Amino acid sequence: MCPGLLIVESNLRDLTNPVAERHGPATFDLSEFLSSRSMTVMLEQPTNVRQASGPMQRFAKQNPGFEQMLPVLFARGAEAACRIAAMFAIAIKTPSALDALRDFVRSSRGSDAMRVHMAMTLRNLGELPDTINIYASGECIEIQLMAFEVYSEPKPPSNRTDRVHDLANKGFALLNQGDGVGAEQFYRKAIGLESDAPDLYNNLAMALHVQDRDDEADEIILAMHHRWPDYFFGRIAMANLATIRSDFESAAEFLKPLCELKSLHTTELVALCQAQVQLATERGEPATASRWLSVWKTFTPEHPDLARWERPRMTSLLSKLLSQD
């Protein structure tokens, strides 16, 4: 294909994506704005905004005119150009750069995941209010931005013995393999040694669900939440149970305090996003489901369950909504 038509090919390819994943039509890519040498100086192979901050600040001093190009990059640039422009704006933090980024966040350009991530970053910098209007799945909706820190370091119970830890790990490995029977055996042994650990009961309930012993699993979930009402995964389990029973108001109430936490482990974030996507899907709220998928993808883009929720479930929901018209 003619080099001048590569951006056209990219635009056509973009149109085949779901609305939430589309970047929007572009007239140029980053290479038409910056030489390869300039990009190398600017980036120095950063993997996130924090790592890119120093090189970009140095680049800004050496190229003061680049800041004036940000509105054009956001409005007409391809996805890579917009990402670099966003990282640049956050790095230099000048009023005009942040204005350009705010305009991009509130626009319909860029994937939902990109704009939600940038909106959360601006909110954490104090540059956006807690509640804003944003496009999700092509629809402008009001959302509340969550300001939480996500960490990945495991934090096992401090008083857990090596024996219980080993049993729990073996049970979890079998659970991930779909072996509910084997996982159940390990978790029951672990509970016999440590009966006051809600995570063991939660995973035991999951092992029973894998075996389609839903009534037994639900009894454990209800007892677990009664005993530990503030346990994170207990509230997730109660919300999921309420969603299955079409008690959407109760499900939302179970999840509400979890959205107000300031720090989440990646496993907690994924569980919260899954519960919110499932609730929004069953409620017939595709824009809300898309927003939570965007949060999920922002922090754990390689999570194996994302694909299961992103397309088949959203396609099913769209068909359901169209059939009601």
Per-residue pLDDT of 233-252, as tens digits, reads 999 999 999 999 999 999 99
Per-residue pLDDT of 104-133, as tens digits, reads 999 999 988 788 888 888 988 889 998 888
CA atoms of 217 and 202, how far apart (whole Å) = 9
Residue 323 is predicted with a pLDDT of: 44
Please answer whether residues 116 and 126 qualify as being in contact, where contact means their C-beta atoms are separated by less than 8 angstroms.
Answer: no
The stretch 70-77 carries a mean pLDDT of: 92
pLDDT of 317 higher than 80: no
pLDDT of 98 higher than 90: yes
Residue 205 is predicted with a pLDDT of: 97
Per-residue pLDDT of 140-195, as tens digits, reads 877 777 767 778 777 767 688 999 999 999 999 999 999 999 999 999 999 999 99
Q: Which residues of 255-280 are buried (b: 16+ CB within 10 A; e: fewer)?
A: beebeeeeebeeebbbbbbbbbbbbb
Residue 44 is predicted with a pLDDT of: 55
